[in-house]
Structure 1
Amino acid sequence: MPGDEEYDAKECFEKGKAYRKGDGVEQSDKEVFKWFKLAADLEDTNAQFILGRMYEDGRDVEQSYAEAVKWYRLATNWGDVRAQYYLGKMYEDGRGVKQSNIEATMWFKLAADQGCVDAQYRLGKMYEDGRGVEQSDAKAVKWFKLAADRGCVDAQYRLGMMYYFGRGVNRSDKEAIKWFKLAADQGCVDAQYDLGGMYEDGRGVEQSYEEAIKWYRLAADQGNANAQYDLGGMYEDGRGVEQSDAKAVKWFKLAADQGNVTAQLCLSFMYYEGRGVEQSDAKAVKWFKLAADQGCVNTQYIPGEMYEDGRGVEQSKKEAFKWIKLVANKGIANAQYDLGGMYEDGRGVEQSYEEAIKWYRLAADQGYKRAQYHLGWMYENGDGVEQSYEEASKWFRMVADQGDSDAQYRLGKMCEDGRGVEQSYEEAIKWYRLAADRGNHDAQYRLGEMYEDGRGVEQSYEEAIKWYRLVAGYGDVNTSCFFSDPYKDSELSDEEAVKRYGFEAWNKLAYLKSLGSMYEDDTDIDQSDE
């Protein structure tokens, strides 16, 4: 007891307050602690609670969670609701005591029953998560509602989420909007972001990009990465704002710097395409790799392509192989196909037909057409595998059944020649016609020959001329994939193919004319080109 004077608990508490505020005395942290401690020792509940807070936060005294727990517990002996709540938090977090959700829930319940708003919210969270109590959405909603009605912003947001997902209540977008709005108006960043999403999609409210922008911006200005990303997307698309790639980049960058993987991916494409920023392969690679390092499978594939081509990075087939294999191992079909190509050609890895076939098959088994077609090509030509027309026809048929004109042509040729399938001009005609109708000039040329010779069809110079014309230049030659395998580098350029096969078709037309067949009235043929 200071000096020879005696003080009661209330006087000691008031002196502590005076020294804290500097009210009539010089402010002194040392004196603050001394007088609150005296009051607490005299069983002043307020002083015990404040002493607990001082020890918890390390204010005016060396921080000690154990001492904080001690003083909170003493205050709870007198039913202090604040101490009950804070003691519950210490148990929840395991600070100064052994972590115990059961103990935390007990203290939150005692405080909540006395009307402590924060305790009501925390108790709702315990029921929502099933920590220390049996999980119950209905009870969570009960406690959230009690706290929300008294203005607890966190409870308002959680109650909105319960209505949004229909947990413990009937699902209602309108109720979700109501509670999100209350929380958002109090500055709750998560509520602002979710409210933006509701306005963007028109859920529970009339759809409005302008309102979505308003709420996204409020959340973004508080540093919410998801809101920053979505705001960037709105500027990129010009939804609710004037389209601006530059502003899209600004918001993508803010979100990307916080590790938002989708924003990193978008930012990489902006640099890759030079939209809103100066084009930079190097910066595109940087952001692609950051997204890839977070497990974004789609992005992991892109650095592989850039390393292979030497765009933005020093060309390295080995690095390209590393990135593409990373994606292929996750079951992505196009990466498995490309990995097969790297093994087949020995790009960035030791050449291995066995490994190539393995990866082509993995992609093909997922229905990837390019891999299926390429396997057919390899088996037809004995390229890296034992030649097998049966296997070739199997893979070509898979792709042909999906409407691919090149596979339809290859299958038609195998039917015509009787390789891997029973020889049948009729089947050959069927597949040639399907391919020809899709603009495949290879098939159109073969159809011309079949009609000219009367194989699989009734002989008809008129039909032969029709198909030869398409190849010779009467059809849409320039926009076709002309006599080329789109899944394998062609030995002929499109221009060379047009010249080569176009001339062959013209020769056929000239030959038919020399026979005097079908040409008496055919004035469409330019004589000079014969």
Structure 2
Amino acid sequence: MKKKIIILSVILLVSFSCFALLPQQQSYAMDAEDVDNIIKVAEQGDTEAQYNLGMMYATGQGVVQDDAEAVKWFRKAAEKGLVEAQFQLGWIYDTGRGVTQDYAEARKWYRIVAEQGFKAAKWYQKAAEQGDVKAQAILGLMYSENVVVMRDGAESAKWYRKAAEQGNVWSQFNLGEMYHQGRGVTEDGAEAVKWFRKAAEKGLVEAQLQLGMMYATGRGVTQDDAEADKWFRKAAEQGGAEMQVTIGLMYDVGWYVEEDHARAMKWYRKAEAQGDTGVQYVLGMKYRDGIGVAQDYAEAVKWYRKAAEHGETEAQYDLGMMYHQGEGVTQDYAEAYFWLSLAAVSGHEAARELRDTVAKELSQDELVETQKRVHGWKPREWQPKTAEETIAD
């Protein structure tokens, strides 16, 4: 199965509900003089003091709790290369605490942390050994994916388990994957299902998808199509059109489930209704070839046109061919030239060759007029369907 994690960005998906107090920054009593000294040193540019002041504002220790001030001081320390501050800043953007949530910015800071190498690994190890759940989760990832430390499946499973038992949803999922694949642990479908279920019930869409697959194939559980569909639906409700296309592809090619083109079409239609214009092209192909539905060239043209109007190059090419061959439509060389030209502009070589062939069938006036249409064409923006359009489709 396609990996659910990308090595330098998955860290941003490690969830926790409050700022982490690192092993060397546990809470202790602070008097006014301590606070004044830290503020003074931080304002003078001391990196450690800036980070500590950020933690103080984050936790309300010695000062009035203030997320915006925490972000300000974490950023100062992070920009000077302090790994702890960089990690906290990544988490802040991940969760939107004190800032507008921004996954791209979170990923940037987590990547910087990961790239600091052994320093980061040493820090994670120390934090993980003292029970920090997010550090345990990240250490599991590092051992699993050969980041900084040598790949070690057993060590990865150990740290994933510790974090999973503390309720970390991504570690629950990753531990399930390890049991599913037999990496670092003995392969065990039932144990995989157990951990997938824990993460799925917390709403992790990848776990819901994987749990659906387990029910669809009967691996680790009794095979149950209804239960599989239940989890697929949950995943699709959260994952939107992209997840619906994924489920459609699973049924289309028999990827972890029994091949079922009719079911694939059901999921493709759901995705299309939510605005996935690329899947309109897939629907066109299905009707053209009669896979999962009765072959219907006119219906194929309809879906190719929808996708082509949204700028899908392959759909423009196939629609041009349909007009050229008169399949599902009245043969129309000018219309064929128009759609083939649009595909050719996007670099489609076969479209360019066929366009040049079709051009010989047009009069000079027809050619000039169609070229004007090509130059003035703009792709349509997707608009939610009306009730009438939904019924028609």
Aligning the two structures, in what range does the TM-score lie when normalised by the shorter sequence? Answer: 0.5 to 0.7
Q: CA deviation at 1:171?
A: 3.9
Partner Cα separation in structure 1 for residue 207 and residue 228 of structure 2: 13
- Cα deviations by residue, 1:92-117 (Å, 9 ceiling, x for unpaired): xxxxxxxxxxxxxxxxxxxxxxxxx9
Count matched residues: 292
Aligned partner of 2:142 among 231, 234, 258: 234
How does 1:93-108 map onto structure 2 within 5 Å?
Answer: none
Partner Cα separation in structure 2 for residue 398 and residue 230 of structure 1: 44
Please report the TM-score for the alignment, with normalisation by the length of structure 2: 0.55
**Which 5+ residue runs of structure 2 have no aligned equivalent?**
1-27, 40-51, 60-64, 92-107, 363-393
Aligned partner of 2:187 among 264, 279, 303: 279
1:158 partnered with 2:55: yes
Identity %: 37
Tell me the equivalent position of 2:35.
Answer: 145
Partner Cα separation in structure 2 for residue 259 and residue 279 of structure 1: 22
Tell me the equivalent position of 2:69.
Answer: 167
Partner Cα separation in structure 2 for residue 343 and residue 239 of structure 1: 34
Q: CA deviation at 1:295?
A: 0.9
1:301 partnered with 2:191: no
Q: Which amino acid aligns with 2:55?
A: R
1:324 partnered with 2:232: yes
**8 Å Cα contact 2:296/2:328 also seen in 1:** no
Tell me the equivalent position of 1:223.
Answer: 131
Q: Quick one: structure 1 residues 385 and 338, their matched pair in 2 at CA, closer, same or farther if it must change by over 3 Å?
A: farther
Q: Quick one: structure 1 residues 423 and 175, their matched pair in 2 at CA, closer, same or farther if it must change by over 3 Å?
A: same
1:253 partnered with 2:155: no
Q: Which amino acid aligns with 2:56?
A: L
**8 Å Cα contact 2:71/2:89 also seen in 1:** no
Q: CA deviation at 1:229?
A: 0.5
Q: CA deviation at 1:411?
A: 1.3
How does 1:459-474 map onto structure 2 within 5 Å?
Answer: none
Partner Cα separation in structure 2 for residue 281 and residue 402 of structure 1: 43
Q: Quick one: structure 1 residues 167 and 426, their matched pair in 2 at CA, closer, same or farther if it must change by over 3 Å?
A: same
Tell me the equivalent position of 2:7.
Answer: none
Partner SS for 1:286? helix
Tell me the equivalent position of 1:395.
Answer: 303
Partner SS for 2:223? coil
Q: CA deviation at 1:336?
A: 3.4
**8 Å Cα contact 2:142/2:149 also seen in 1:** yes
Partner Cα separation in structure 2 for residue 207 and residue 337 of structure 1: 34
- Cα deviations by residue, 1:211-266 (Å, 9 ceiling, x for unpaired): 21222222211211111001112223333322323322221111112110111122
Partner SS for 1:242? coil
Partner SS for 1:332? helix
Partner SS for 1:329? helix
Tell me the equivalent position of 1:109.
Answer: none
Partner Cα separation in structure 2 for residue 168 and residue 262 of structure 1: 26
Which deviates the most, 191-200 or 229-238? Answer: 191-200
Q: Which amino acid aligns with 1:261?
A: V
Aligned partner of 1:292 among 186, 200, 206: 200
Q: CA deviation at 1:393?
A: 2.9
Partner Cα separation in structure 1 for residue 145 and residue 241 of structure 2: 30
Tell me the equivalent position of 2:173.
Answer: 265
What root-mean-square deviation, in Å, do the aligned CA atoms of Structure 1 and Structure 2 show? 5.3
Partner Cα separation in structure 1 for residue 168 and residue 238 of structure 2: 21
Partner SS for 2:183? coil
**8 Å Cα contact 1:195/1:212 also seen in 2:** no
Which deviates the most, 319-328 or 425-434? Answer: 425-434
How does 1:358-373 map onto structure 2 within 5 Å?
Answer: 360-368=268-276, 371-373=279-281
**Which 5+ residue runs of structure 1 have no aligned equivalent?**
1-116, 121-141, 150-154, 185-190, 460-530
Higher relative contact order structure (alpha carbons within 8 Å, sequence separation ≥ 6): 2
- Cα deviations by residue, 1:280-337 (Å, 9 ceiling, x for unpaired): 4433332222110111122101111222223333322122111111222335224435
**8 Å Cα contact 1:396/1:410 also seen in 2:** yes
Partner SS for 2:238? coil
Q: Quick one: structure 1 residues 214 and 192, their matched pair in 2 at CA, closer, same or farther if it must change by over 3 Å?
A: farther
Partner Cα separation in structure 1 for residue 90 and residue 265 of structure 2: 49
Partner Cα separation in structure 2 for residue 342 and residue 195 of structure 1: 38
Partner SS for 2:149? coil
**8 Å Cα contact 1:199/1:207 also seen in 2:** no
Q: Which amino acid aligns with 2:181?
A: E
1:311 partnered with 2:257: no
How does 1:410-425 map onto structure 2 within 5 Å?
Answer: 410-418=318-326, 423-425=331-333
Q: Which amino acid aligns with 1:159?
A: M
Q: Which structure has the greater CA radius of gyration?
A: 1
Partner Cα separation in structure 1 for residue 87 and residue 267 of structure 2: 43
